[in-house]
Amino acid sequence: MQPDTTHSGLDSRWPSSEPPPRAFAQGTGLVLQAVGAVLFFTTCCVCSLSGQWETVLSRGEILESQQDDQALNWSAADLIDRPGQAAMMLMAMFMTVGGLAMLAFGLGMQSEKRHSALGAVLTILAADGVLIVAAVGLWAGETHWLARLWHAAMMLTVLLLTPMTIVAYRQMRADPPPEDLYVVPEDFDIDAYKRQVRGTAPPTPQDVAARRKRLEAELDELDREEKNRQEGEATRHGG
């Protein structure tokens, strides 16, 4: 006959073998954080390579256009005649903001924030739409192969993240985290919580008595030092 350890407290000292109820959502949030950070930094740096897919006017061409009174500025309507440049501008603008959004919502999903999964799904779906529109511009206009390669890498990444975020959203919706997950009650014992995390037991009466004895000895030592200091000062003044 084996002993019953149900109420012995042993089950609370060891972690459960079952996975958390929203483990997939938390894992997806971690992936979104990594992808979002990479997208943000790479998109911020991609403008430095714009000379690879956009023609740079020489000094002579600029001087010639100024002599002929030709304006070098352009408007948003000119993007219709430049689908490749319009696609690059669309990706550079959205993927910078979209990378930050993925990073933020991924952190929320890992922390089990209630509406973070919905925000992640909307961000990924918006990224799908932007990349599809950008693909039309990149392949319809004259664009460098590096721009198309960058777009293909982002498109593949976002397409892989789409089903993951949808499954994570369904998991969070089916089993939402409690509303008071990060609410600390007024009578919360921080010392007991630290002992629970560290796996230490509360102090015994013997430990309390020994600590009190050490503190009393330290107080007595301080009192003696203070008394000796006062006597020394009185002797100097009296001499």
> Per-residue pLDDT averaged across 156-170, rounded?
93
pLDDT digits (tens, 9 = 90+) for 172-183: 888 888 776 667
Question: Considering the chain, what is the average pLDDT of its residues?
Answer: 78
Cβ–Cβ < 8 Å for 161, 103 = no
Q: What is the pTM of this model?
A: 0.60
Most confident of 62-71, 102-111, 140-149, 205-214: 102-111
Res. 126: pLDDT tops 80 = yes
- What value does the mean pLDDT take over residues 153-157? 91
pLDDT at 120 over 90: yes
Rounded to an integer, the average pLDDT of 211-224 is: 90
What's the mean pLDDT in 3-13?
43
pLDDT surpassing 50 at residue 9: no
Is the Cβ–Cβ distance between 31 and 164 less than 8 Å? yes
Question: Would you place residue 3 in the very low, low, confident or very high pLDDT band (cuts 50, 70, 90)?
Answer: very low
- Give the pLDDT confidence score for residue 106 in this predicted structure: 93
State the amino acid at position 21 in one-letter form: P
What are the residue ranges spanned by the domains of the chain?
A: 20-69+79-174, 195-238
